[in-house]
Copies of this chain bind each other. A is one copy, B any other.
Amino acid sequence: MSKYDTVLDPYFAALGDPTRRMILQRLARGKASVSELAKPHNMAMPSLMEHLKKLETANLITSKKEGRTRICELAPKAFTPAQNWLSEQCAIWEERQAYDDL
């Protein structure tokens, strides 16, 4: 079931950027507007928006417009796709280890 999981491509790619991981860490602490998210990153707004777009495409965050500000938050179960894939691989590997130890 995880063999050709194309969903994980943009997902892990999104996690591969430090700016985006910092955004996620910030959002783990609660909702934030785009400009709040932008502040710690000495970066032009459109550049930051690109990151947000990738996070949203990857289903790591959601966002909605409230007046002229956009509020972002972590998607529900944002991290489970990664955790599932990873623990699946671990399981296979550990099963293998059990055999090898005989």
Contacts and interface: CB of A to CB of B under 8 A. Distances in A.
Given A4-B18, A9-B16, A18-B4, A24 B79 contact: no
Interface residues of A, number: 36
Interface of A: 2-6, 8-18, 21-22, 24-25, 28-30, 74, 78-79, 82-83, 85-87, 89-90, 92-93, 96
Given A79-B86, A79-B89, A79-B90, 14 more contacts: A5-B21, A8-B15, A11-B16, A12-B12, A12-B15, A13-B16, A15-B15, A21-B85, A25-B92, A29-B93, A30-B96, A82-B86, A83-B83, A83-B86
27 contacts: A2-B25, A3-B25, A5-B18, A5-B21, A8-B16, A8-B18, A9-B16, A9-B17, A11-B16, A12-B16, A13-B13, A13-B17, A15-B15, A15-B16, A16-B16, A21-B85, A24-B89, A28-B93, A29-B96, A74-B93, A78-B89, A79-B89, A79-B90, A82-B82, A83-B86, A83-B87, A83-B90
